[in-house]
């Protein structure tokens, strides 16, 4: 199997100009398996390729993870991935899905990370299509329903890899199957956009929590919320061509948006009194 992180045409590690600043790893953080699983189950851009075949890439319209850890994909019937599974008959087709995570707000170095899931691609058997379609509809209620124009595929995970704000890590299939996506991921884009549009002053006040480094925050003209997960908020400060990230942890992991509102209010109140 081709290792998902191996550089090759169209995939691989970020180029030098896309490198992200990465804070230290003493903070609480999601595991590599949780980060890959979250990427797979979000609406981040994904491309499906067949290594060694000059077929081009396929863009899944929607995707979900089955209870056994397989990735279910809805692709156009005339896409390279769908055609490859038809030509292979009952044989597995080795495939790699690359997911690109782009910040939903304007920041320097907007690509937050990439994930790769490599494994074996097959068409979903007729007996399992109803359950697979139902799961996809739950994850993507506004997406298209399977029909003649669409094909349901299943990617059995062989290995996965993530290279993101936290670092670069491999993930075994058992870890991927057991992981759960971050509970805030369905709402993250909307929440970050709201923070950027309506709470710039409060975001700037977080400099008060940065100790000695916070004293220099006035020189950093740009401030934007970069990422949000159950453990905390990451903010990017920038000026000119330079930038740095600061991570602000919640007192305890949040479970939902209600918990998040409480945690954010406490965070901003603490910053205002420092």
**Could you give the CA distance from residue 265 to residue 41 in angstroms, rounded to a whole number?**
28
**Could you give the CA distance from residue 119 to residue 173 in angstroms, rounded to a whole number?**
9
Confidence of residue 227 (pLDDT cuts 50, 70, 90): very high
Residue 110: exposure state from Cβ atoms within 10 A (0-12, 13-18, ≥19): middle
Phi, psi of 258, rounded to the nearest 5 degrees:
-65, -50
Longest CA span, the chain: 66
User: How high does pLDDT run on average in the chain?
Assistant: 87
Rounded to a whole number of angstroms, the distance between the first and last alpha carbons of the chain is 53
Summarised one tens digit per residue, pLDDT across range 145-195 is 777 899 999 999 999 999 999 999 999 999 999 999 999 999 999 999 999
Short-list 193, 204, 176, CA closest to 228: 193
**Could you give the CA distance from residue 77 to residue 146 in angstroms, rounded to a whole number?**
10
Q: Is residue 4's pLDDT more than 80?
A: no
As a whole number, mean pLDDT of residues 194-212 equals 92
Summarised one tens digit per residue, pLDDT across range 86-110 is 888 767 899 999 999 999 999 989 9
């Amino acid at each position: 199997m081709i290792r998902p992180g191996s550089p090759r045409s169209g995939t691989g590690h970020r180029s030098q100009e896309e490198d992200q600043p990465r804070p230290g790893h003493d903070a609480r953080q999601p595991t590599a398996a949780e980060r890959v699983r979250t990427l797979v189950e979000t609406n981040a851009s994904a491309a499906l390729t067949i290594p060694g075949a000059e077929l081009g890439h396929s863009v899944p319209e929607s995707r979900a993870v089955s209870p056994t850890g397989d990735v279910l994909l809805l692709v156009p019937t005339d896409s390279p991935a769908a055609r490859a599974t038809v030509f292979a008959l009952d044989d597995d087709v080795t495939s790699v899905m690359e997911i690109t995570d782009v910040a939903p707000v304007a920041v320097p170095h907007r690509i937050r990370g990439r994930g790769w899931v490599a494994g074996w691609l097959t068409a979903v058997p007729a007996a399992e299509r109803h359950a697979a379609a139902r799961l996809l509809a739950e994850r993507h209620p506004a997406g298209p329903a399977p029909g003649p124009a669409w094909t349901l595929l299943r990617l059995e995970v062989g290995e996965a890899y993530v290279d993101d704000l936290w670092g670069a890590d491999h993930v075994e299939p058992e870890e991927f199957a057991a992981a759960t996506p971050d509970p805030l991921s369905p709402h993250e884009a909307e929440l970050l956009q709201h923070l950027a549009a309506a709470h710039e002053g409060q975001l700037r006040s977080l400099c008060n929590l940065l100790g000695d480094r916070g004293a220099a925050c006035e020189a950093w003209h740009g401030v934007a919320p970069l990422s949000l997960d159950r453990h905390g908020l990451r903010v990017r400060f920038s000026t000119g061509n330079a930038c740095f990230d600061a991570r602000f942890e919640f007192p305890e992991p949040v479970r939902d948006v209600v918990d998040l509102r409480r945690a954010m209010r406490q965070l901003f109140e603490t910053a205002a009194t420092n």
